[in-house]
């Protein structure tokens, strides 16, 4: 009987993989941000589905953001360095929440200052609102000290999609490039 139980345990353990542990919050199976249709900084229509085959990281912000946006994009720039030869399998998508000021030319200059492969995406006010709602992203204009000046309060996390185009992870603001790179490598390996 003991032999049977040992054989049964050995048989049942074959092919059983432990669940993958990610550093970021696992959202596998979630339906946040299924797709969008926005213009990149070169005027090309882009959809989330265009990036199948790569890990895509989607981040919302604006070019005049004083802290969260440049910090996040710098962290993602460092993540690319840590990925080495696999860096070309990661696509960073920066979606502006300020289409009024963030022109295509400004987005091109801004995102390329972090990395030439980063894409800046924009739509009109209605498209921006619909896309933010689809991703459950909060944003609100805050009046500045002079007429016409403003800042934008906004959600600070990023969404990560695997090479099959499925939502997998939520990166909280301040996650280290090392931990992001570890998660990206797992997704690229099909985990």
Residues annotated within the binding site are: 65, 69, 154
Residue 16's pLDDT is: 52
Domain 24-188 is in which class?
alpha beta
- Outline where the chain has alpha helix (H): 2-13, 68-83, 104-112, 125-134, 177-188
Is the separation of the CB atoms in 76 and 58 below 8 Å?
A: no
pLDDT beyond 50 at 158: yes
Q: Enter the tokens of residue 131.
A: 């896309």
Is the separation of the CB atoms in 177 and 23 below 8 Å?
A: no
pLDDT, tens digit (0-9, with 9 covering 90-100), for 58-111: 999 999 999 999 999 999 999 999 999 999 999 999 999 999 999 999 999 999
Residues annotated within the binding site for Cu cation are: 65, 69, 154
pLDDT, tens digit (0-9, with 9 covering 90-100), for 35-54: 899 999 999 999 999 999 99
């Amino acid at each position: 009987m003991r032999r049977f139980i040992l054989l049964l345990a050995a048989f049942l353990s074959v092919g059983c993989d432990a669940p993958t542990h990610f550093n970021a919050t696992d959202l596998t199976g979630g339906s946040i941000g299924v797709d969008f249709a926005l213009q990149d900084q070169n005027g090309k229509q882009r959809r989330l589905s265009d990036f199948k085959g790569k890990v895509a990281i989607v981040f919302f912000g604006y070019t005049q953001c004083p802290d969260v946006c440049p910090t996040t994009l710098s962290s993602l720039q460092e993540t690319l360095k840590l990925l080495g030869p696999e860096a070309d399998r990661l696509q960073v998508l920066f979606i502006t929440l300020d289409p009024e000021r963030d022109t295509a030319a400004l987005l091109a200059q801004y995102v390329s200052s972090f990395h030439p492969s980063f894409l800046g995406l924009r739509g009109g006010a209605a498209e921006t609102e619909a896309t933010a709602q689809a991703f459950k992203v909060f944003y609100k204009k805050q009046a500045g000290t002079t007429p016409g000046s403003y800042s934008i309060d906004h959600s600070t996390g990023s969404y990560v999609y695997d090479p099959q185009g499925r939502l997998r992870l939520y990166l909280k603001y301040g996650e280290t490039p090392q931990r992001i790179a570890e998660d990206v490598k797992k997704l690229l390996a099909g985990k």
